[in-house]
Chain A
Amino acid sequence: MSTKDMLRVLVVDDMSTSRGLIIQALEWMGVATIDHCADGQTALQKLSASPVHMVISDYNMPGMDGLQLLEVLRKHESFSRIGFILITGTTDPEIVDRGTQLGMNNFLKKPFSPTALRACIERVVGPL
């Protein structure tokens, strides 16, 4: 059984188009289980109910932004080891720095190709 057959991913993005695109790309990669939601709060609820290996989250969201979500995850014992990939529209060094400090596993700049997303994930979990 390869990595992708087991991989469980939660996609968090407030814009349904972006969310849909990420999901479509993940499906194309053959990722086994993909869940999604539109904000950080719901993400936390979902994570409590059904754990995942990795969260792929947008940075810019109303309410809790991507890094705030990461911060909550890292503080929480049972979530702290979940992989986290941040999707961001800018490569603002400040955001990357904060992400690094919080322990994000990787980040990807928008817009991106499905191949770029795949590479980004593989740099964290190894070949899919």
Chain B
Amino acid sequence: MTFAVSDEFRDSFFEECCELLEAMQDGFSLMIDGRENVETIHTVFRAVHSIKGGAGAFDLNELVAFAHRFETVLDQLRSGKVRPTSELYLLFQQCGDHLSDLVSAARNGTDGNSETEALLLQRLQAATQIDLVPSTAAQTSDDDAGFVPLALEIAPLTAPAADTQHGWRITFNAASELFTSGNEPLPLIRALERFGPVKITADLSSVPSLDRLDPMVCCMHWTIDVETSETEDVILEVFEFVMDCAVVEIQPLTGADLSTIATPPKDAGSTGPDAGQQAPIALDDRDIAPSAPPIAATTAGGSASQTIRVDFEKVDKLINLVGELVIKEAALSQKIGQQQVAHDNAVLLELEGLKHLASEIQESVMAIRAQPVKPLFQRMARTIRDAAASTGKTVRLVMEGEGTEIDKTVLERLVDPLTHMVRNSVDHGLETQEDRIAAGKSPEGMIQLTAAHRSGRVVIEITDDGAGINRDRVRQVAEEKGLIAPDDHLTPPEIDALLFLPGFSSKQEVSELSGRGVGLDVVRSEIEALGGRMSVSSEAGFGSTFTISLPLTLAVQEGMVVDIAGQTMVVPIGAIKETLYATSATTHSIGLGEKMLSIRGCLMPVVDLGVKFGFRAEASDLRDRVLLVVETTANKQCALVVDALHDQRQVVIKSLETNYCKIEGIAAATILGDGRIALIVDPEGIARRATDFSPASALMAQTAHSEGGALETI
């Protein structure tokens, strides 16, 4: 019978590697910031060591070889033989990056970069004076260092002495209001029986005579002995909910106490005569008294950990089903609503319960997909280090809110845009060291990555302390590229927003880093594809902040159900800034039937969605129509005309593109409570086009030329 390591293990090894690498990089960051403690170096060492150990089992020799040398150096640091310096820590960080690369390479079955490795090893050797020549790592050797296995001539194993057995004595002194607070002692005691044999003594001394007994007052106390290997915490957890109306004390049980608790019958195993003679340790099953049920043979080292690995498809399926459940629940609500049942009808109460449950299930399922942004940020840390190295800038990275959780899919799709953004920040945002010194700044640039939950969305900010956006230059480039007319009057935020226009790239020469023909417009459309919005703010001399605001999930959205020329449609709530009725005082006609809305001195184009989607010809009168003010990521506003507002509700997003095709102005579709399909409006897209093409906008002219025909739909 041959032995083969299963693929499952390989996968789990690589996933474990990711966790270890994360811990390692955390450690290096602490060291570099001077915030390390005694445990830090041990943690880092253990991480590298564990990667090496695991890699060896999978014959990943390249990985083993580097991890071994890296570990050797870390070991010397750990034992104080190498003096820690900040240069050394930075070098470690790079070695850590290389180790990450090797892990990825091993996972993909490719080779690592041997030049980088040779260089790193050279530098390590130079910095630490440790001989790192091709080494002992590869020899898995049978070198037993002269050790002779110890064949102990000992007596057969005996059962552990009673005093080593774990057990707990719990004194449960309930307050008199135990019953009235909705608690019952019996289920608690039953719960303890799960852990092992239980002996209960009730203290009846405070129970009054029957004529004075109030059955609602608890006057009994209990002493419960439980024989178990569970920890104190696990036992106490049983009493978690009665802690405020009872005094629960717990003490370890002595062997003598335990002996009074009934023990389960002993296993009658048979003796293996051969084993007894040949084995230095005699093995006799009868001598092992099973004080607990026999331990089951376990597989795959899983049960000890706090997590399980689940196929992503299963989670997706669950999410879809929950979406359907929410739709069904809404349908049911609607049907019952149409029956005109009395308000105190029990069905309504139950329905309310169902509604509550459905939304809780939905939240919990969403939480399964949510993951902290930390690994993403760490990846960016790596990108920034590489970018800094290739531009010769020194960059300090500050991260905040790494624990913020976000949908896994969103997280994965953020990698590319965010990578581009941070490269951009290092390359264009931060000045060269000389320029910084000349400007009276620290030569070390700072980039800050922040993540936070803000009003139902996740906001990620990339801030640099560079020179800020050079607006004159941006303007000039935009003029040269024909994006704006020389006499256009633009406010500073409008100039900043030019960066996101297609075809804009301000850096004159193509930079090795960010100048790959990919502009911020691509980043923006990637973010928008995720339902996100992007904006920038900047202050000359002090730096820029790019803000990405993302929905928590891609699967559901809070939507406003509206009526447009008899059609039911949904407008995402997040996009709506304001809702108002149109009046003749606020709406003005200009040009060829174009309308503008003026509120608080702010002019914005009005888009009639009924006309936009071809449901009707231009409405002559806006009176009594509802205007939804929406804002684009470029801080431009636009008013959408709908006929009526119906309802605000959670809608499950069904992609239109995968089921049909992309439609201009429509983001997706959903299924309403009554089973009808409703299209979800894409306010961002509509507003952007409207503001880009509107006569009131300073940006319109040139872009209109480039995108041509859409004009007539407005």
Interface residues of A (CB under 8 A from B): 1-3, 5-8, 11, 13-21, 23-25, 27-28, 31-38, 42, 45-51, 53-54, 60-62, 76-79, 81-83, 89, 91, 93, 96, 99-100, 103-107, 109-115, 120, 123-127
Contacts and interface: CB of A to CB of B under 8 A. Distances in A.
B291 A50 contact: yes
B56 A124 contact: no
A60 B20 CA distance: 14
27 contacts: A6-B284, A7-B283, A15-B20, A16-B304, A16-B305, A17-B16, A17-B57, A18-B50, A21-B5, A21-B9, A23-B300, A27-B299, A28-B1, A34-B295, A36-B301, A49-B228, A50-B290, A50-B294, A51-B160, A81-B152, A81-B157, A89-B49, A104-B150, A105-B149, A106-B150, A110-B52, A124-B281
B272 A20 contact: no
B300 A33 contact: no
B80 interface: no
B247 interface: no
Contacts of B228: 49
B272 A1 contact: yes
Given A17-B12, A111-B64, A36 B298 contact: yes
Interface stretch (B140-148, B215-223, B420-428, B544-552): B140-148
Interface in B1-57: 1, 3, 5-6, 9, 12-13, 16, 20, 42-43, 46, 49-50, 52-57
Given A1-B275, A78-B158, A49 B283 contact: no
**Looking at A21, A46, A62, A115, which has the most chain B CB atoms within 10 Å of its CB?**
A21
Interface stretch (B117-125, B161-169, B669-677): B161-169
Interface residues of B, number: 76
Contacts of B6: 24
Given A27-B299, A50-B295, A3 B278 contact: yes
Nearest to B61: A111
Contacts of B154: 81
B528 interface: no
Contacts of B297: 27, 31-34
Interface in B192-231: 228-229, 231
A25 B151 CA distance: 22
Contacts of B295: 8, 33-35, 46, 50
Interface centre among B1, B13, B231 (most CB of A within 10 A): B13
A106 B168 CA distance: 36
**Which 4 pairs between the two chains have the least Cβ-Cβ distance?**
A111-B56, A49-B229, A20-B301, A19-B301
B147 A17 contact: no
A9 B125 CA distance: 42
A34 B6 CA distance: 19
Contacts of B275: 1-3, 6, 126
B7 to A, nearest CB: 12
A54 B282 CA distance: 11
B278 A110 contact: no
Contacts of B64: 111
B65 to A, nearest CB: 12
Contact of A36 (B46, B49, B283, B304): B304
Interface string B300-316: 11101100000000000
Interface of B: 1, 3, 5-6, 9, 12-13, 16, 20, 42-43, 46, 49-50, 52-57, 59, 64, 71, 140-141, 143-147, 149-152, 154-155, 157-161, 164-166, 228-229, 231, 269-272, 274-275, 278-281, 283-285, 288-292, 294-302, 304-305
A28 B284 CA distance: 22
Given A17-B9, A18-B50, A124 B298 contact: no
Contacts of B141: 91, 109
A75 to B, nearest CB: 12
A114 to B, nearest CB: 4
A109 B140 contact: yes
B149 A49 contact: no
A111 B46 contact: no
A126 to B, nearest CB: 4
Among B1, B146, B157, residue most surrounded by chain A Cβ atoms (within 10 Å): B157
Given A33-B294, A33-B295, A109-B140, A15 B229 contact: no
Contacts of A113: 3
A34 B152 contact: no
Contacts of A1: 270-272, 275
A41 B515 CA distance: 55
A82 B152 CA distance: 10
Contact of B278 (A46, A61, A105, A126): A126
Contacts of B274: 2-3
A103 B160 contact: no
Nearest to B68: A89
A115 B71 CA distance: 27
A46 B149 contact: no
Given A13-B301, A16-B302, A123-B151, 10 more contacts: A11-B301, A21-B5, A33-B296, A38-B305, A48-B164, A49-B228, A49-B292, A79-B164, A111-B140, A125-B279
B272 to A, nearest CB: 4
A16 B12 contact: yes
Contacts of A38: 304-305
A98 to B, nearest CB: 11
Contacts of B71: 89
Given A17-B16, A112-B140, A105 B150 contact: yes
A48 B149 CA distance: 26
Contacts of A115: 3
Contacts of A45: 166, 229, 231
B229 A46 contact: yes
B280 A126 contact: yes
Contact of B160 (A8, A11, A79): A79
A46 to B, nearest CB: 7
Nearest to B52: A89
Contacts of B304: 16, 19, 36-38, 42
A111 B57 contact: yes
Contacts of A27: 297, 299
A48 B166 contact: yes
A83 B152 contact: yes
Contact of B161 (A20, A46, A77, A120): A77
A124 B270 contact: no
B155 A81 contact: yes
B383 to A, nearest CB: 28
A106 B149 contact: yes
Nearest to B11: A17
Nearest to B10: A17
A16 B16 contact: yes
A19 B281 CA distance: 24
A42 B270 CA distance: 30
A107 B288 CA distance: 25
Contacts of B283: 3, 6-7, 53, 125
Nearest to B292: A49
B149 to A, nearest CB: 4
A49 B166 contact: yes
A50 B292 CA distance: 6
Contacts of B149: 105-106, 120, 123-124
Nearest to B159: A51
B57 A48 contact: no
B298 A34 contact: yes
A18 B160 CA distance: 29
A127 B150 contact: no
B140 A15 contact: no
B165 A48 contact: yes
Contacts of B152: 81, 83, 103, 105, 124
